[in-house]
Structure 1
Amino acid sequence: MQTNLADFIKDTPEGREADSILRSCVHCGFCNATCPTYQLLGDELDGPRGRIYLIKQMLEGQPVTRRTQVHLDRCLSCRSCETTCPSGVNYHRLLDIGRNVIEQRVARSIAEKATRFLLCQALPQPLIFKPAVKLGQWMRPLLPVVLADKVPAQSSGASKRYPACQSSARNRRMIALAGCVQPTLTPNTNAAAVRILGKLGIELFEAAGAGCCGALRYHLNAQEQALDDMRRVIDAWWPHVEGNQSGNVEAIVMTASGCGAHVREYGELLKHDPAYAEKASRISALTLDISQVLAVEQERLVELMQLKGKVGVGESRKLAFHSPCTLQHGQKIRGVVESLLVAAGYELTMVADSHFCCGSAGTYSITQPELSGRLRKNKLAALGAGSAEVFVTANIGCQTHLQSGTATPVRHWIELIDERLGD
């Protein structure tokens, strides 16, 4: 694709990156076949190829309108198009650059501004988010259906405290990211990970002060605030990472694939920051999804399950696994969770169109409720087709979004592995 970027951006780092991405696109259209919004709406401008043209026009100095902003807003950032693209177009980075430019050039309505401001301020801060959730749960019967749908049901009493490492061999240490909403909505996710790794002789802990990874604000176009979030996380982790001395962590473990996909891009997003570029690159290199850690330890894990008598004794349970976009497209981790669940004795049902997004996509279910609801309905139908007893996933956003549309339990897969290991 030929380009001629405008003076306002062509000599900037973002402009050079965008120019390179645009030139890699051969506008073949394969991406549209796996784009959820294009499949729903059938509009070329609601598919990756059309959005690339819109961004190109904007960066070349052509007039930008609200119409362009709407089409970019409708993108889920699911990155399914990147998995499909034969040319390796780095679409999500181009989208980030385009959204940042258009945010400065096209005014939003007061309602949109207020919604985005509240999301940026409330969700990343547990001191605000947790009381807000508790209040919403208490008032849920009185809320309009549209609002009640966004309020998760009260916790079933899952463990909220981390157990101690259950192995005498504590020579291995890893950091877990608490995140912003997961500690409130599904506190047992990280607790289950701590229990499992503890039995494998790995201490998993959270570093004080880390907080939100920055993904939420970044994808709401509050990119400068998000970069500050990322720097804060790096500062919290760095004392545990620096050097190769005994006692330092060997990995940074993510139990939310959305956070994992973002932290793995710290090195890229902060590469022009002289104070943080090297640290960010190191953090990204250390970051692993919890499934990658357990895959390496799978043989030992199965042995422990067998000792507990939980594998191969007729306790097979049917599960349907929803692989989050941030896991399969963002981090390119495919089949790993499924293998671990099968090794643990669970039966996985087939899920049609498993490459499609469930509609959660961070705050997308709030900013684009109609499209999000349609995608959730399609995903739940696919998950339920095999008569699974439980739906499992690997990201807090997907988990809460899907659960609000079904009576079937939706859980993080790590809890199912934890149950096989017993107390």
Structure 2
Amino acid sequence: MKTSFTAEQLADPATATAAGAIRTCVHCSFCTATCPTYVLLGDELDSPRGRISLMKDMLENERVPSAVEVKHIDRCLSCLACTTTCPSGVDYMHLVDHARAYIAERYRRPLGDRMMRWMLATVLPHPRRFRLALRLAAVGRLGAPLLGKGRLAAMLAMAPTRLATPVAVPRSDASGKRVVLLRGCAEPVLKPAYQAAAARVLGRLGYAVVPAPGEACCGALVHHLGHEAEALASARRNVDAWTRVIEDGGLDAILVTASGCGTTIKDYGHLLRGDPDYAAKAARVSALAKDISELLADADLPASAAPALTVAYHGACSLQHGQKVTEAPKRLLARMGFAVRVPAEAHLCCGSAGTYNILQPAIADRLGERKAAALDRLGADVIATGNIGCAMQIGRRSAVPVVHVVELVDWAMGGPRPSVLA
């Protein structure tokens, strides 16, 4: 696609990256078939191709974004199925990230929207605040029938009726390779058993799971809200924390059990590329980041004692499209003795997408129902995924229990049965 950015505009690295992505698009329309919002809504402006045209016009002319542009860009899930499909290699992820930051800086949203986004950015990345908010949600749910089907009602509906009991993640001092296991923000509150299972598996395999004091939220949630400064601050904080571990004994991997976080951490090198104090350190951190399934799929695993279960595998968008990790989780489950099935439309998003299921509840609900139905049709004993958001989104809509891939691996290696299967 032809662009007309000025030399002055292209001096900004983010604008230059966006311009490169726009120029790469040849309007072939392959992306429309795999874009969840286009599949549901059939609107060209709700396809990657349509959004690229909107972003091009907005960024080239340095205009205040219009309400129409904001509506259609907000509807993008950032599932990145378009990047998997695109034959031209359009860097859509960094293009839409830049557009969101541009909108956050220049567009004044309605008061209710501003308040909701402020609350999400203030609460979700902080586990203590998030836990308190979930307790308050139990009270707020009493008035949910009066709220209709808006954002607040969607948020209350997603809050679990009972909070998970905190689980101490075991730290191994084994003499083998040293790894950090990302604590994160939402997962330890909603499903602490995931990281506990991962730590047990790593301990059995001889990995030393070491703490990283100062580590915090990866920054993905605020990044996708367009809060660029907050996202970069989170990235720098984590880079500092992990660099201290690297310099004090070395580090073989930074392991992630929430694939949404993994996609962002693997992108730290790009996010901090223009910061002379962090560029090299961030690139080193990104190179060390791995999804837990990536490491385990190639590990020397012991003989499995897995029960004879059929597993419906849901590939989180952040894993299959964002990180291009598609086969490792399925291969891992098969190695452990499980029969693995994959649903139709496996490429389509479940509608969770960070805070999307709160900010765009109507679309998210349709996608969630569609995904749960596709998984249920497989007739599996259990659904396995690698991302907390997907687990919560699908778990609310399917009668089949949902677990993390690593919980099944832990069980097959002699660990406890996942609680949802008890």
What TM bracket, shorter-length normalisation? over 0.9
Give TM-score, length-normalised by structure 2. 0.92
Matches within 5 A, 1:158-237: 160-165=167-172, 169-237=174-242
Matches within 5 A, 1:58-207: 58-61=58-61, 63=63, 64-137=65-138, 140=141, 143-144=144-145, 146-155=154-163, 160-165=167-172, 169-207=174-212
Seen in structure 2, the aligned counterparts of structure 1 residues 339 and 155 have a Cα distance that, compared at 3 Å, is: farther
Q: Identify which range, 260-269 or 205-214, moves more after superposition.
A: 205-214
How many angstroms apart in 2 are the aligned matches of 1:6 and 1:54?
A: 18
Q: What SS is found at the alignment partner of 1:301? A: coil
Seen in structure 2, the aligned counterparts of structure 1 residues 249 and 24 have a Cα distance that, compared at 3 Å, is: same
CA contact (8 A) 1:9 1:59 kept: no
How many angstroms apart in 2 are the aligned matches of 1:372 and 1:224?
A: 27
How many angstroms apart in 1 are the aligned matches of 2:57 and 2:411?
A: 53
1:4 maps to 4
1:357 is aligned to 2:349: yes
Query: Any idea what the Cα deviations from partners look like across 1:15-52, whole Å, max 9, x if unmatched?
Result: 22222111111111111110000010101110000000
Read off the aligned partner of 1:282 and give its amino acid letter: R
Query: Any idea what the Cα deviations from partners look like across 1:48-90, whole Å, max 9, x if unmatched?
Result: 0000011111122175310001000000000000000000000
Give TM-score, length-normalised by structure 1. 0.92
Q: Identify which range, 180-189 or 343-352, moves more after superposition.
A: 343-352
Query: Any idea what the Cα deviations from partners look like across 1:136-183, whole Å, max 9, x if unmatched?
Result: 2466455446444220242565x7012353xx8523210011001111
Seen in structure 2, the aligned counterparts of structure 1 residues 147 and 252 have a Cα distance that, compared at 3 Å, is: closer
CA contact (8 A) 1:177 1:206 kept: no
Task: Select which of 327, 335, 350 maps to 1:343.
Answer: 335
- Over 6 Å off, 4+ runs: none
Q: CA deviation at 1:250?
A: 0.7
2:413 maps to 421
2:369 maps to 377
Q: What SS is found at the alignment partner of 2:56? A: helix
Identity %: 43
Q: CA deviation at 1:228?
A: 0.4
Q: What SS is found at the alignment partner of 2:384? A: strand
Query: Any idea what the Cα deviations from partners look like across 1:218-267, whole Å, max 9, x if unmatched?
Result: 0001111110011111111111113xx7x321111011111000000000
2:281 maps to 279
Q: Which runs of 5+ in 2 are unaligned?
A: 146-152, 416-422
CA contact (8 A) 2:164 2:189 kept: no
Seen in structure 2, the aligned counterparts of structure 1 residues 43 and 224 have a Cα distance that, compared at 3 Å, is: same
Q: CA deviation at 1:11?
A: 2.7
Q: Identify which range, 191-200 or 131-140, moves more after superposition.
A: 131-140
CA contact (8 A) 2:310 2:339 kept: yes
Read off the aligned partner of 1:53 and give its amino acid letter: S
1:270 is aligned to 2:272: yes
CA contact (8 A) 1:6 1:61 kept: no
Q: CA deviation at 1:407?
A: 3.3
1:293 maps to 295
